[in-house]
Chains A and B, each alone.
Chain A
Amino acid sequence: MSQPTSFTLAQDRIPTHWYNIAADLPQPIAPPLHPQTRQPASLSDMQAIFCDPIIEQEVSTERWIKLPDDVRAKLALWRPTPLLRAVRLEQALNTPAHIYYKYEGASPAGSHKPNSAIPQAWYNKQAGIKRLATETGAGQWGSSLALACQLFGLECIVYMVKVSFTQKPYRKLLMQTWGATVHASPSQQTAYGRQVLQQMPDTPGSLGMAISEAIEDTVTHPGTKYALGSVLNHVCLHQTVIGQESLEQMELAGEYPDVVIGCVGGGSNFAGIAFPFIHRNLHDGKKTRIVAVEPDVCAS
């Protein structure tokens, strides 16, 4: 082969620290607000659903946060993920550009989501939690948390949006294979779910309903905490292993990106690849453009 197209790292190159962009944003990230009072959420609001080490990470402004050894060991099940150059796509496009991609589909669950499910399960286990509740839409996050809970011996309860539960059974089966209990949401498991079912027996469910059920489950079961798969600072933090590995792999390829691109829903996979490059832009005078891509119908 004349030209290498795959850039892989040994297991000992799994990053030792997560990169926390909160340390580098010229203006601080606005704190979460309590949904009812609209005031910044208090520590006790957050403690009702998250364990203390997770809350510490959520509000931390420390730039580098160490990965626990056991978390790195579990990530080593599939990390470092490969970085590849898409030479056949380049040829098809007849472009002088070089296109590289970081492949997070190499995880057991098939996406980047386990990068945060593993540390979230670990911190909860250390805090003495026995059971994690969450919601999932199509099932990417639910299956990732199911895997992580199985690896650390936690019980996993997933409220899955009903329409996905019935129409897309494979990720439900994946969660069950990894030992999770999966409820079609709205469900009979919670007061909120029962109320919705009474008013709208045929509802397809929604992510909002599933979140409400998972949180009610959390606060009504001792030893249970809630886990969220995107949006929050600590989730974005955990995903920064993606960009850090990419930086090293681009070095192996002998190039540095002019542009870094990720899709954005809640924002965690985008944060994962982008934030370490933003760090270089802010500290090393790099001028990489960072591009977030969204569907036109849901642009936020």
Chain B
Amino acid sequence: MRMYTLGHAFVPPKIHAGGLRYHGMAPAVSSAYEQKLIEARTFNQQEIFEAAVQFARTEGIVPAPESAHAIKGAIEEAKQARADRQPRVILFNLSGHGLLDMQSYDSYLSGHLNS
């Protein structure tokens, strides 16, 4: 398949968002990116879990580590709106809860997360 990929021999580093470790991206998404219909951003694991815990402590839902990437993206957009002093309507997909991922929260909360 034609997609942005890290190659099939890519052995992903052990991060807690297991669902984001896939070595390739959907051709439909790759194609939309190539055609400049979407933007891409990256964050490190430490930033992701800070966002996850902030979300859990304000909104209640404990997010899956994968979904916390979208939360972090939303928080950055909201901070930019604050800096710009402009309203901004942000929508993100909270794709799953993290209640079966508490081991990774343990790593973060006990300071053993490798970023």
Q: Which residues of A contact B (CB under 8 A)?
A: 21-22, 25-27, 29-33, 84, 86, 88-105, 110-113, 137-140, 164, 167-168, 170-171, 174, 206-208, 230-233, 235-236, 242, 246, 250, 255-275, 278, 281-282, 289-300
Is the pair B70, A263 in contact by a Cβ cutoff of 8 Å? Answer: yes
Is the pair B88, A98 in contact by a Cβ cutoff of 8 Å? Answer: yes
Q: Other than the known A29-B27, A92-B58, A263-B73, what 15 A-B pairs have Cβ atoms closer than 8 Å? A: A88-B59, A95-B82, A96-B87, A97-B88, A138-B19, A140-B64, A246-B91, A259-B88, A261-B70, A263-B95, A273-B91, A295-B44, A296-B43, A297-B13, A297-B44
**Would you mind naming 10 contact pairs between A and B with Cβ atoms under 8 Å apart?**
A32-B1, A93-B79, A96-B88, A137-B18, A292-B38, A292-B41, A293-B40, A298-B12, A298-B22, A300-B3
Identity of the chain A residue whose Cβ is nearest the Cβ of B102 in the assembled complex: A170
Pick the residue among B73, B86, B93 that contacts A102 (CB under 8 A). Answer: B93
Contact status of A27 and B88, CB under 8 A, knowing A293-B41, A300-B4: no
Is the pair A269, B93 in contact by a Cβ cutoff of 8 Å? Answer: yes
Is the pair A267, B17 in contact by a Cβ cutoff of 8 Å? Answer: no
A113-B93 Cα distance, complex, nearest whole Å? 13
Identity of the chain A residue whose Cβ is nearest the Cβ of B19 in the assembled complex: A265
Is the pair B42, A270 in contact by a Cβ cutoff of 8 Å? Answer: no
Is the pair B94, A103 in contact by a Cβ cutoff of 8 Å? Answer: yes
A162-B12 Cα distance, complex, nearest whole Å? 15
A191-B38 Cα distance, complex, nearest whole Å? 42
Is the pair B42, A295 in contact by a Cβ cutoff of 8 Å? Answer: yes
Shortest Cβ distance from residue B49 to the other chain A in the assembled complex, whole angstroms:
11
Pick the residue among B1, B4, B73, B89 that contacts A293 (CB under 8 A). Answer: B73
Pick the residue among A25, A167, A262 that contacts B31 (CB under 8 A). Answer: A25
A91-B57 Cα distance, complex, nearest whole Å? 12
Identity of the chain A residue whose Cβ is nearest the Cβ of B13 in the assembled complex: A297
Pick the residue among B1, B29, B63, B100 that contacts A30 (CB under 8 A). Answer: B1
Contact status of A258 and B29, CB under 8 A, knowing A105-B67, A290-B38, A295-B20: no
Residue numbers in A under 8 Å from B109 (CB-CB): none
Is the pair A21, B32 in contact by a Cβ cutoff of 8 Å? Answer: yes
A263-B92 Cα distance, complex, nearest whole Å? 9
Is the pair A291, B18 in contact by a Cβ cutoff of 8 Å? Answer: no
A25-B54 Cα distance, complex, nearest whole Å? 37
Is the pair B67, A263 in contact by a Cβ cutoff of 8 Å? Answer: yes
Pick the residue among B42, B67, B93, B94 that contacts A294 (CB under 8 A). Answer: B42
Residue numbers in B under 8 Å from A137 (CB-CB): 18-19, 21
